[in-house]
Structure 1
Amino acid sequence: MAPRTQPPRIPSPAHRPPQQSQTPDWLESAAAANGIGSWHWDIRADRIVCDQRALAILGLEELGLQAGEHVPVCGLQTAAAVAAVTADLAETTARQASITSEEFLALLHPEDAPVVRGRVERAVAELGQCGAYYRTLFPGGEMHAVRFRGRVLADGNGRPTHMIGFVWDATVELHKRRRADQAASVREERTLFIREAAKGLSEAVTTADVARVFTELPLPGIPPDGLVLAVLESGRIQILASSGYDGGSRPPHDHVPLDADHPAALALRTRTPVFLASQQEYRQRFPMAWPQVVGHPKHAWAFLPLVASGRPLGVCLVSFDEDRTLDYEERTLLSTLGGLVGQSLARARLHDAEHELAAGLQRVLLPRRVPPVPGFEAVARYLPAGTGLQIGGDWYDVVPLPNGHVGVVIGDVQGHDVHAAGVMGQLRIALRAYAAEGHPPAAVMTRAARFLADLDTGHFATCLYAEVNVDYGAVYAVRAGHLNPLIRRADGSTAVHHVDGGLPLGVDPEQSYPVSRFTLDPGDVLLLCTDGLVETRRTGIDEGMERLRRVVGGCKDAGLSELADKIARSAADSAERDDDVALLLLRWEGLSASRPREHLRRRIGQADLARIAEVRAELRDAVRRWGVGDLSDTVELLASELVTNALVHTDRDAMLTARLSRQPEGGQARLRIEVADDSDQWPTRRTPGEQASSGRGLMLVEAMSDAWGVEPNGTGKRMWFELVCEAAAEAQP
């Protein structure tokens, strides 16, 4: 195309009046060669005269303009560019048409008319030049673009009289601009898409999240008809999620071996996308895989490998219902998308693996279930930490005790990571073992404190352990730096019950722990929890306990499981929670006629001789409650002899068991006391002299009991005696 020439310099009115001017031949030839039309605007008469080239450029030639006719502008919705007029209106009237300035402005595109008006008015006011670019719609409906240049001429008094200028077609420039705008718009859409896709994929936590985000992506400019996300598992490419496929046309690319002659396998082996523009290309390049595709509605495919850190993870597939040849930019966009999905999938699979590891470890370390305890209903909940590996050191436990009672434990090892969980597992097992051996609460806690200190892990733990009398609802609790328990009474009232406490476990191995005793009434609920339930970054423990008390008090008629779920939901809904939570609820149902009530079992450690006095007091109290208080002195004396004999003459612990059996219909009551140890050394009955200070224990047992003996007990032995009481009374609370 010939280069456009600049409009010639027009002589000023002082040298040549406009009505006498003519276009020079050399200028006419140049204008014709470059498709430039001329126009003349008589400002005072408000008439714009255009030559034939200008009319053609403006699209007015087809309107059938004749000499001197005005341009019909009614019904035109867009404007056309103004043509230049010649300098001499008189000589060109026979081959020119004229319009008014308002008719000319009515031809312009609504967005361009104000711009043209403003520039022309400014040029007239300043007696200067102006130019503009505007759009117009031809009668045939084609959109054209026009550029014009004009200059204002003045009379001898300096008043504007005429404007003359040139006009040329700029439709090619309009098309270029449109294409550039469209390309810019597509680039902007793709940039926005990549940004949004990266944001969505970065927020995807699990593999399922990645699949959901990918299958919902709206690709700009190349809307796909099908999306498939497949992962590499055990040497096969297996579909994880898909969209755009109905039940009758499931993706045929499932369970593809990695070494197969298949586009998905090739893309993953070579780490390079595979683009197939038609079914014919698919059939030619992959004849072995083509039979799987026959009958499916897809006609074009893009197989994008998912790779992270050089490791193949899977393939994402973009498919189309029609043949589609993707250009360079579209392929680049899809390749970029594949990279984003690959990185997100790698993070998600690592998260899933870590979560499964943490959940599995937590399941192993925590009780699989709460064991059933006659007379009690127990419910437990555990919520992992909201951040990190979602594993921690909080735990709970319910331990059936040898005497038929139940021990409940709630604890929290410092931290919520794998190390804390490991320490928690060891401490839980040790504390459970101490409790199951029959040690009293204070001894259980003291031994646990010593055990954690001996582990030398650098961790400490808070803990609350309580032994609950199943028969009478008596609770013997010890606390090591832990939260106090909360009690909801049967009438719905709630209160935090204070339990005397000591230092957390692992701080001082010689720490002793006082025992606090309180009782439960039938229907009362004992609630134990860790601080993650009540304490957050913005909520203190006291405020959190008060909030928990209100929640528990507001669920008077709720079942224990329903109450536990509501408490757990209130903790899970907190966005500020960053610690794990253990929760244990225990409701005492009252006395149960289906289980023996007169049973007591206690362990006395070899090095814990002070424990003998504690056991004597518990035995005396039990005999009184069982309604055979007349035997208390005898029982205390003989039991002390057997226990002392086992501790002095062996190097093992002793286990004392007391059991009362009744004859039916108020007959005799038989009290049996057993003391077992693991020593194979049997007792020898001696006859001490008058001055001897020992050796009379078995003589007392023989003389004061109704029956006694020694029996083998596994690797050790069991010494026992029985006392019979006539007409024993019913047990007392």
Structure 2
Amino acid sequence: MATEPEPQGPARRSPPAQAVRTAAGHALRTATAGLPVPPTGRGLPGRGGDSTPDWLEPAMAANGIGSFDWDIRRDILEGDQRACDILGLDPDRFDRSSAAFLALLHPEDAPVVSRRVERAVAELGQCGAYYRTVHPGGEMHAVRFRGRVLADAFGRPSRMVGFVWDATVELHKREKAGELAALREERSRFIKEAARALSEAVTVRDVARVFTELPLPGLPPDGLVLASMEAGRLAILGASGYRSELIARHDRSPLAADHPMAFAVRTRTPVFIADRDEYRERYPEAWEQLGAGTGRSSWAFLPLVVSGRAIGVCVVSFDDDRELDADERTLLSTLGGLVAQSLARAQLHDAEHELAASLQRVMLPRAVPSVPGVTTAVRYLAAGSGLQIGGDWYDVVPLPGGHVGLVIGDVQGHDVHAAGIMGQLRIALRAYAAEGHPPAAVMARASRFLADLDTDHFATCTYAEVNVDYGVVYAVRAGHLDPVVRRADGSACVLPVAGGLPLGVDPDEEYRVTRFSLDPGETVLLCTDGLVEARGMDLDTGFDRLCEAVAAPLPARDESAREPLEELADRVAARAADSSEREDDIALLLLRWDGPSGGRAAQQLRRRIGQADLARISELRGELRDALRRWQVPDLIDTAELLSSELVTNAIRHTDRDAMFTARLYQAPGQGRARLRVEVEDESDLWPTRRTPGEQASSGRGLMLVEALADGWGVEPRGSGKRMWFELSAEGPAPTDGQVY
């Protein structure tokens, strides 16, 4: 084959052999056309004319070199016996023309030889090439020739003389060297690709996946196993080419001391076994226990060594006997080193991430309490790696009077410090809420608590108190996201809530309360910003996607099926940004108000009014209005609101303790009208005194109003303090069994 291939066109096709030879012969004849033919009678060297020197013949014979002489103008080709043997031709049958010579060559080599000879003739120079010939027996041989064009007395090309020798062995060596070079290049490329893939593997599972999918160049394995050593036991992390039951049988099993894996780990050197007999001879006990049942015939056990310590082993096995050469062993050993470094890094990552996740789980509530009248669902999705945990949290707090508080928040930062602050803040806020403080006071106290910690961290938070009796929500927001509400008709929208500064920024911040109502079956959703913000997605787009997910139809409620609210929580979490795009944790809290039992609200309203919390009186009036409207006695709203405000204000002004407000709607036995009873309890022993104020007096008319407008009123002593009450009668529905709700 020619060593200098000619350039080919874009649509290269091998022409038929006869056409190639005919064209090549025509080219040679064209190149020598018009040259004068010399007189006959002149012989070739060693053939009746000039003779080969005696000292040259033994050298040519010893090196297997033949000579040839081509008369260019007469197109006669002659050669010695060695040249004929090398070319594989019969001198008696060879017509000695250039066309007949070209017919002996491989169709791909004939044009190359023809062009080089034509150029040498035109330039009176020399040429040479490799080419392939087929001997009469059918075997393929490679031949190399070197020739020079000689000129006649007029400077015109006359003859080409030269040498030929068999280059089959040399060509095979060159081909073998080329194959080895290509294989080395492929292995070098494989090492680079393996290093890149293993460097991108984050978890132990990723490392196992990459290792078991590696295509080893030149020696494709039939089986791969990656295992770590844990307290003398073999923990299989990943495998391919083996039956799952075989892997399960050996996973977490003790490793015998004479097993080749144990030897590789103990000595930190690879173990290569070429065939079954070698395995049986070197490790007889391990062969009986493990090796005989694998169905393999040769193995490579590669220890995974990091900082002088073996952390595991990887096994490469083959179905046939295989004696690995030095290059193959070097490749496998290099691969073992890469896997070891990647596995150690992944194990550290998994350990750190598990530590962070455990810390996060400890900080979050272990279980969400069940509150009659509402259904809740929570989700937490961690993001980041290692110890990069967030300060996101949620909480559900049972409140006095059977109500429930919802908390969602996020502490600034993504580290263990942020998680620790989150745990302290969650407990403090839960305690403030459980004491019965109104939402604004709960948020203000939590902000003051975080500021007193002096951590240089702030937190965003939303706290909502849900009146389970009649579905009214009182929400307070401290730099956090607005809630999303899913209405009874299936639509979803973002509900604006008055906001304040994040917790810890200003200890004296006062927060405003936003009040909204839920109908039975409606759901309120609270979340952290990881759910609606990600790379390439702004907040508005995130909220649009969230509302779309929340508004999608829910499965029908069925006792045998899963809770629809859990399905909704799964759907919302599943549509969150993928972990490769999401940079923050996600906390998600959903609450559905199921409505009162029997479809009617519980007919009792109970609230504690703080001594210094005068704003609570205004909130109480609003709650009472809602309650009476739901109890279907709207005619009592104005009178009940006025008289209740008078009793509560009187208790707050003339005592130094909190007051407890209770309103009940009931039907006394034997009466057809519903009656509203309102009670205000305090711990003061000072009884109210009815007095007649002057025309210019600004106070003193409270009891006069109660006496004038109420159907009945009075003061009752208690063990500590007193209870003031009044009753109003109303037309409208009421319980028929006389039971107070």
Map 1:348-387 to 2 at 5 A.
Answer: 348-386=346-384
Find the aligned partners of 2:148 and 2:598 in 1 and give their Cα distance.
116
Moved more, 382-391 or 201-210: 382-391
Deviations 1:436-459 (A, max 9, x none): 221111111111111111111211
Find the aligned partners of 1:562 and 1:251 in 2 and give their Cα distance.
34
Query: Aligned residue for 1:206?
Result: 203
Closer, same or farther: CA 355–535 of 1 in aligned 2, 3 Å? same
Find the aligned partners of 1:35 and 1:41 in 2 and give their Cα distance.
20
Query: Aligned residue for 2:190?
Result: 193
Tell me the CA shift for residue 124 of structure 1. 0.3
1:658 to 639, 659, 662: 662
Say whether 1:321 aligns with 2:330: no
Closer, same or farther: CA 361–249 of 1 in aligned 2, 3 Å? closer
CA contact (8 A) 1:437 1:603 kept: no
Letter in 2 for 1:145: A
Find the aligned partners of 2:620 and 2:84 in 1 and give their Cα distance.
124
Tell me the CA shift for residue 260 of structure 1. 2.1
Tell me the CA shift for residue 55 of structure 1. 0.9
CA contact (8 A) 1:459 1:506 kept: yes
1:50 to 79, 85, 102: 79
Letter in 2 for 1:582: A
1:505 to 503, 506, 520: 503
Query: Aligned residue for 1:163?
Result: 160
Letter in 1 for 2:576: A
Deviations 1:646-671 (A, max 9, x none): 746xxxxx473626373566758685
Tell me the CA shift for residue 173 of structure 1. 1.3
Closer, same or farther: CA 210–666 of 1 in aligned 2, 3 Å? farther
CA contact (8 A) 2:84 2:91 kept: no
Tell me the CA shift for residue 54 of structure 1. 0.3
Find the aligned partners of 1:507 and 1:515 in 2 and give their Cα distance.
19
Find the aligned partners of 1:646 and 1:106 in 2 and give their Cα distance.
125
Query: Aligned residue for 2:723?
Result: 721
Say whether 1:394 aligns with 2:397: no
CA contact (8 A) 2:190 2:217 kept: yes
Find the aligned partners of 1:141 and 1:59 in 2 and give their Cα distance.
10
Closer, same or farther: CA 50–655 of 1 in aligned 2, 3 Å? farther
Tell me the CA shift for residue 121 of structure 1. 0.9
Query: Aligned residue for 2:23?
Result: none
Tell me the CA shift for residue 333 of structure 1. 1.5
Say whether 1:709 aligns with 2:718: yes
Give the length in aligned residue pairs.
660
Tell me the CA shift for residue 293 of structure 1. 3.5
Deviations 1:260-281 (A, max 9, x none): 2322122112211122333443
SS of alignment partner, residue 339 of structure 2: helix
Query: Aligned residue for 1:597?
Result: 602
SS of alignment partner, residue 227 of structure 1: strand
1:538 to 533, 536, 539: 536
2:123 to 123, 126, 141: 126
CA contact (8 A) 1:441 1:515 kept: yes
Query: Aligned residue for 1:715?
Result: none
Query: Aligned residue for 1:476?
Result: 474
Unpaired runs of 5+ in structure 2?
A: 1-37, 557-563, 692-699, 707-711, 735-741
Deviations 1:507-563 (A, max 9, x none): 100000112222233444333332222223433323433443444445588954444
Find the aligned partners of 1:616 and 1:585 in 2 and give their Cα distance.
26
CA contact (8 A) 1:258 1:269 kept: no
SS of alignment partner, residue 572 of structure 1: coil
Closer, same or farther: CA 615–646 of 1 in aligned 2, 3 Å? farther
CA contact (8 A) 1:671 1:722 kept: no
Say whether 1:466 aligns with 2:464: yes
Closer, same or farther: CA 44–287 of 1 in aligned 2, 3 Å? same
Find the aligned partners of 1:188 and 1:251 in 2 and give their Cα distance.
38
Letter in 2 for 1:185: A
Tell me the CA shift for residue 365 of structure 1. 2.5
Q: Percent identity?
A: 61
SS of alignment partner, residue 571 of structure 1: coil
Query: Aligned residue for 1:183?
Result: 180
Deviations 1:9-55 (A, max 9, x none): xxxx99x9666433233332332232211111122232222211001
Letter in 1 for 2:217: P
Closer, same or farther: CA 450–337 of 1 in aligned 2, 3 Å? same
Find the aligned partners of 2:382 and 2:332 in 1 and give their Cα distance.
38
Find the aligned partners of 1:405 and 1:541 in 2 and give their Cα distance.
32
CA contact (8 A) 1:404 1:600 kept: no
Letter in 1 for 2:585: D
2:586 to 578, 581, 584: 581
Moved more, 240-249 or 627-636: 627-636
Map 1:688-703 to 2 at 5 A.
Answer: none
Deviations 1:205-248 (A, max 9, x none): 32222222222333233333322222111232233333333367
Find the aligned partners of 1:187 and 1:506 in 2 and give their Cα distance.
63
Letter in 2 for 1:132: A
1:566 to 555, 566, 571: 571
SS of alignment partner, residue 344 of structure 1: helix
Query: Aligned residue for 1:112?
Result: 109
Closer, same or farther: CA 503–686 of 1 in aligned 2, 3 Å? closer
SS of alignment partner, residue 194 of structure 1: helix
Moved more, 478-487 or 369-378: 369-378
CA contact (8 A) 1:661 1:671 kept: yes
CA contact (8 A) 1:602 1:615 kept: no
Find the aligned partners of 1:268 and 1:329 in 2 and give their Cα distance.
22
Tell me the CA shift for residue 615 of structure 1. 7.4
Closer, same or farther: CA 392–731 of 1 in aligned 2, 3 Å? farther
Find the aligned partners of 2:665 and 2:183 in 1 and give their Cα distance.
91
Closer, same or farther: CA 255–382 of 1 in aligned 2, 3 Å? closer
Unpaired runs of 5+ in structure 1?
A: 1-12, 71-97, 649-653, 678-682, 691-695, 711-717
Deviations 1:397-456 (A, max 9, x none): 332321233322222222233222222222222222222221111111111111111111
Moved more, 207-216 or 31-40: 207-216
1:271 to 268, 271, 275: 268
Find the aligned partners of 2:682 and 2:270 in 1 and give their Cα distance.
76
Find the aligned partners of 2:472 and 2:686 in 1 and give their Cα distance.
40
Closer, same or farther: CA 350–45 of 1 in aligned 2, 3 Å? same
Find the aligned partners of 1:270 and 1:676 in 2 and give their Cα distance.
82
Moved more, 112-121 or 31-40: 112-121
CA contact (8 A) 1:616 1:640 kept: no
Query: Aligned residue for 1:33?
Result: 62
Closer, same or farther: CA 185–676 of 1 in aligned 2, 3 Å? farther
Find the aligned partners of 1:481 and 1:54 in 2 and give their Cα distance.
96
Closer, same or farther: CA 333–675 of 1 in aligned 2, 3 Å? farther
Closer, same or farther: CA 42–427 of 1 in aligned 2, 3 Å? same
Find the aligned partners of 2:237 and 2:464 in 1 and give their Cα distance.
49
CA contact (8 A) 1:395 1:424 kept: yes
Deviations 1:60-114 (A, max 9, x none): 2xxxx253x32xxxxxxxxxxxxxxxxxxxxxxxxxxx43223322332344333
1:140 to 127, 137, 140: 137
Find the aligned partners of 1:458 and 1:571 in 2 and give their Cα distance.
30
Query: Aligned residue for 2:343?
Result: 345
SS of alignment partner, residue 55 of structure 2: helix
Closer, same or farther: CA 311–33 of 1 in aligned 2, 3 Å? closer
